[in-house]
């Protein structure tokens, strides 16, 4: 049974709608446009309601497409030493283009009744609750679009907006960086392992391969299977095989790897591993510190400078795994390293850069850039609003339409680490 708004709350809603219609000289329930001043105030309120949006550039622009406002960020990187300069990305990515966005939000009647009771009949308090709710919902959606853009449609299980209508509105920062660097000396580190993975090594351990009978899986290129019950390695990671006859070396674990078998790419030769054969995990990086440091050294053009503004942005899952890995290293006998403040301090920087846990980022991702390199543009005069009590929708409805986009001011000044995996800790096997 659909909830029906109480008469007192219904009267309060009507009073709010009438007051808003009077303020904008329109009929209740009609679409109205915001003035430049109102638009700037609304954008400011939405941005301040979200910590990510509050840190980036935000600009009301006069043209739907033009050259980006802030442009290239150049200078000298201190302490980097002499390196061969990277090819700069073409100026073809130096423009922005706004896209229309549509937001439809419904506050259910049941929630409105609860708020009206909590407000004690105060119209001002009740109106404030409604305004705060809309601001929070829209700011969170804006932040999700800024980070994810169209990538949410490609990864519906990832973090970000669940609004289907917003999946293909415009590009988020991550996709803007990827598109700009595709086919060029990219600042996207995603060519390491199946699906593109950056492997961070956990506690190392060597397992005995004694008695393993190598099986031929065929295919092009050829793959072989090595039985190793309960190995704990993961597909996309690397293993090193030593003291075999035919399979010594480092190998990428292919997609067919499961809990009891390793699958690697190799020419097949009949072999049963002897008692001396050892199999150990190998990572591309020992720590996230190393991954960030190496990425900075190898992927940023020499003349990019931020004067200390570069920061590391971690997706929620990467931050959680980094914390778990640090927890596993704590020595309980040492009071200096056995508390939460120590963990917080260790997680506050990687590779010498301040780190941030950023909600809404694509799963298993790390981005390195400066907040001042990320911008939000909204077209002047484009914001239109409709506000009405709508029994058919079962609540108070606000439609908002406007034209906006994200912009990465200098795509050379960004690094993305995709599919960051921490190899799990290996427990002794029975």
Same domain? 161 vs 233: no
309 part of a folded domain:
no
Same domain? 157 vs 257: no
4-61 tens-digit pLDDT:
778 888 888 888 888 888 888 888 778 888 888 888 888 888 888 888 888 899 889 9
Same domain? 209 vs 185: no
378-389 tens-digit pLDDT:
999 999 888 888
147 part of a folded domain:
yes
- Flag whether pLDDT at 367 surpasses 70: yes
Same domain? 186 vs 210: no
2 part of a folded domain:
no
- Flag whether pLDDT at 312 surpasses 90: yes
Beta strands 349-350 and 374-379, pairing class:
unpaired
Q: Quote the domain boundaries for residue 217.
A: 202-282
Who contacts 45 (Cβ-Cβ below 8 Å, separation ≥6)? 135
* Confidence at residue 376, expressed as pLDDT on a 0 to 100 scale: 92
Closest to 375 in 3D by CA, of 9, 92, 22, 71: 71
317-351 tens-digit pLDDT:
999 888 887 777 666 566 555 566 777 788 889 98
Closest to 203 in 3D by CA, of 423, 428, 419: 423
355 part of a folded domain:
no
Same domain? 107 vs 134: yes
Residue pair 303/86 in contact (Cβ under 8 Å)? The answer is no
Residue pair 14/389 in contact (Cβ under 8 Å)? The answer is yes
- CA distance linking residue 178 with residue 193, whole number of Å: 18
Same domain? 186 vs 206: no
- CA distance linking residue 278 with residue 242, whole number of Å: 5
- CA distance linking residue 170 with residue 172, whole number of Å: 7
313 part of a folded domain:
no
pLDDT band at 80 (very low <50, low <70, confident <90, very high): very low
pTM above 0.85, yes or no: no
* Confidence at residue 37, expressed as pLDDT on a 0 to 100 scale: 86
235 part of a folded domain:
yes
* Confidence at residue 418, expressed as pLDDT on a 0 to 100 scale: 80
Domain boundary among 231, 253, 282: 282
Per-state percent for the chain, helix, strand, coil, to nearest 5? 30, 25, 45
Domain boundary among 255, 282, 309: 282
Same domain? 208 vs 145: no
User: What is the average per-residue pLDDT within 402-418?
Assistant: 85
Q: What total of structural domains would you count in the chain?
A: 2
- CA distance linking residue 252 with residue 247, whole number of Å: 13
Q: How many percent of the chain have pLDDT more than 70?
A: 77
Mean pLDDT of the chain: 79
Residue pair 241/277 in contact (Cβ under 8 Å)? The answer is yes
């Amino acid at each position: 049974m659909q909830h029906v708004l109480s008469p007192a709350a219904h009267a309060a809603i009507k009073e709010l709608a009438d007051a808003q219609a009077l303020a904008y000289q329109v009929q209740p329930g009609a679409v109205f446009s915001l003035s430049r001043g109102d638009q700037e105030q609304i954008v400011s309120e939405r941005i301040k309601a979200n910590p990510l949006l509050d840190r980036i550039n935000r600009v009301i622009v006069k043209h739907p497409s033009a050259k980006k406002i802030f442009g290239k960020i150049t200078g000298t990187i201190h302490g980097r030493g002499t390196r061969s300069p990277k090819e700069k990305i073409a100026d073809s990515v130096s423009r922005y283009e706004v896209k229309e966005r549509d937001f439809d939000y419904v506050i259910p009647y049941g929630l409105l009744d609860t708020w009206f009771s909590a407000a004690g009949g105060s119209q001002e308090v009740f109106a404030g609750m409604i305004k705060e709710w809309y601001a929070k919902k829209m700011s969170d959606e804006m932040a999700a679009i800024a980070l994810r853009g169209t990538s949410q449609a490609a990864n519906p299980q990832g973090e970000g907006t669940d609004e289907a209508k917003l999946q293909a509105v415009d590009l988020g920062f991550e996709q803007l960086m990827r598109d700009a660097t595709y086919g060029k000396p990219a600042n996207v580190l995603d060519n390491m392992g199946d699906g593109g993975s950056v492997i961070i090594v956990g506690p190392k351990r060597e397992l005995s391969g004694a008695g393993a009978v190598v099986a031929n899986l065929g295919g092009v290129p050829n793959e072989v299977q090595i039985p190793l019950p309960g190995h704990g390695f993961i597909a996309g990671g690397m293993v090193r095989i030593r003291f075999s006859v035919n399979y010594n070396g480092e190998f990428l674990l292919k997609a067919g790897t499961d809990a009891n078998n390793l699958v690697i790419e190799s020419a097949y030769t009949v072999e049963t591993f002897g008692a001396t054969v050892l199999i150990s995990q190998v990572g591309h990086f020992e720590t996230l510190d190393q991954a960030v440091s190496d990425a900075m050294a190898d992927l940023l053009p020499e003349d990019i400078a931020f004067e200390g503004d570069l920061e590391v942005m971690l997706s929620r899952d990467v931050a959680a795994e980094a914390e778990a890995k640090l927890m596993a290293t704590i020595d309980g006998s040492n009071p200096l390293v056995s508390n939460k403040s120590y963990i917080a301090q260790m997680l506050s920087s990687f590779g010498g850069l301040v780190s941030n846990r950023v909600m809404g980022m694509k799963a298993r991702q790390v981005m390195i850039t400066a907040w001042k390199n990320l911008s939000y543009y909204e077209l002047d005069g484009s914001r239109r609003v409709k506000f009405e009590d709508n029994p058919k929708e079962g609540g108070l409805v606000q439609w908002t339409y406007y034209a906006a986009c994200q912009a990465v001011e200098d795509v050379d000044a960004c690094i993305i680490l995709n599919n960051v995996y921490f190899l799990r800790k290996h427990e002794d096997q029975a």
